[in-house]
Amino acid sequence: MLEPIERHVDWMADAASIVFDGPLRRGAGTRFWCVTEIGPFRLIDHMEITAWQPLHVMGVRHTGIVRGDGRFTLDPIADGRGTRFTWAEQLRFPWYLGGPVGAWLARPVLAWIWRRNLATLAGLLAAG
């Protein structure tokens, strides 16, 4: 569910569609457009995969209207009974979306959406 980028729309409620920008579909250098919808806000986010270690790390750079970097990390839990999924993202909003204040105000909304996305992903993985 993580490695096939096109499947992110299956578990990310804010990702409406993904269209690749070039021939790559996997790995560092893969570029794509993602239509992102949050409430009444809709934007087309251009992204590039910056780090790719299968089953461990996927890094992304947002180069569209909203800019920044994100990273998914998978680490085994110490007792060997699972995997810890970490999602870290630092986004910068343009001035017309409130700049740093808009990003600060969006933080709780984005955190709620990302927690919901992770719960959806966990459900899909549990279902096989």
Class of domain 5-127: alpha beta
Phi, psi of 59 (to 5 degrees): -105, 150
Name the residue ranges covered by the structural domains of the chain.
5-127
For the beta sheet containing 15-20, the strands, ordered from the edge strand earlier in sequence to the opposite edge, are: 15-20, 31-38, 41-53, 57-63, 67-76, 83-92
With 70 as the cut, is the pLDDT of residue 98 above it?
yes
Q: What digits encode the pLDDT tens for the residues 23-47?
A: 999 999 999 999 999 888 899 999 9
Q: pLDDT tens digits for 56-94? A: 999 999 998 999 999 999 898 888 778 888 889 999 999
Taking the model in full, what pTM does it have?
A: 0.87
CA separation for the pair 54, 74 (Å, rounded): 9
Q: Name which of 22, 73, 11 is nearest 47 in CA terms.
A: 22
**DSSP letter string, 89-115:** EEEE--GGGTHHHHHHHHHHHHHHHHH
- Tell me the pLDDT of the chain averaged across its residues: 91
